[in-house]
Structure 1
Amino acid sequence: MSYGKFASIYDSLMQDIPYEQYVEWIASWQTSGKLLDLACGTGTLAQLFAELGYEVTASDLSEEMLTMANQRFQVANLRIPTYQLSMDSLEGLHGFDAVTIAIDSLNYLKSGEQVQKTFNEVHKALNDGGMLFFDVHSTHKVDEVYMGSPFVLDDEEVSFIWHTEPGKANHSVVHDITFFVREQEDLYKRFEETHEQRTFPVSTYSTWLKAAGFVIESITADFSDAEPSSESERIFFCARKV
């Protein structure tokens, strides 16, 4: 999925994401080195890692997202190379100590084959002993929590009406979102976006990671140290290349 107009309001919608906790989680395993931030979005995490001293490279499939990320890096006076790439095609990128795929970005891949290819590509891009960090929606969130739509946000600057329905594949969801973005005091611009996501059981991700040549170091849930439960919504994986 390549974000379009959504890129321009992405940061305002993601204000509740605890990016600092994400950085702390990764830093607890990998304190420095060359880091590749896949599906970097508008570059929030990449900037935080760079400011901590990591040597950061960022990539995203969306040209709009990369434009905003590069603007962010320029304002922060950071030299972070960026690439427009799909996460399952990383030809030419190698020598990294850590790779991140943050904020359920992996769930935008439509097939299990794409996820497996991504793990294989990341494995090739990492140095021996390098770490892969990613999070995904749980099957519970996709199958049950998301089906509680519509979800509504009524804000002065950005409002939306968000409808969901099951996708064609198991554990998949289609998001249909209508946005109203304030342009003048009493004028809002309306646009619509459709996003599709798919997830898999924890055991499936684990099997694919091991098949790609990773050892799983930890699997936790919901920005905590707790193991996933049947009610967990976001699953975090930390794996090491062997």
Structure 2
Amino acid sequence: MMVNLFSVFDPSTSIMNLSLNWLSTMIGLLIIPSGFWIIPSRHMIMWNMINLKLHQEFKTLLGFNSINKGSSFIFISLFSLIMFNNFLGLFPYIFTSTSHLVLTLSLALPLWMTFMLFGWINNTQYMFAHLVPQGTPPILMPFMVCIESISNLIRPGTLAVRLAANMIAGHLLLTLLSNTGPMVNSIMLMMLLITQILLLILESAVAIIQSYVFAILSTLYSSEVN
């Protein structure tokens, strides 16, 4: 029996008190067909096109410095990992790991901390100058420093909460609608099924959009410290 509304997101599968739910974080690699790796199949061609498009976008944001060579592949891998986990959460009885702040913060916090350390160690003057936007009146400079510092500190939190909240919201809506199924007549049940299918399509779009947003914002934060 469900204790509360959010208990559907709790890890429940375990053997000898060892939770197996978090294995779904890496299980996306197992569902890729072997032909994807062996021959230039349609899956491989489509995935290569997506990767090339992402690489071009990330390369534009990161710039063309020699320091940034290969950096786009980190964000492409991040996009792939989040998208796989978002999609796996749409299948029944599979644990949605991206709806937990433990995972999203584990992705956002090390990235943000690395960017900050790199920026403050290598580009200290630029990081200080970045705290005061160009054209700020002298009387507002102390306030702008405080505002920019706070907005910079909450970046990993906003990245993590945005991803987790968007994944939770759709799943909660699907759960609430499905719980009303046994209490409605056949006509309402058909409408409920159509609504559930439409919401599932919307959640599929959200799974891609949120992984892209997470990766693109991480790229923007990275480009600011160079």
TM, length-normalised to structure 1: 0.29
The higher relative CO (CA closer than 8 Å, separation ≥ 6) is in: 2
Could you say which structure has the higher strand fraction? 1
TM, length-normalised to structure 2: 0.30
Could you say which structure has the higher helix fraction? 2
Structure of larger gyration radius: 2
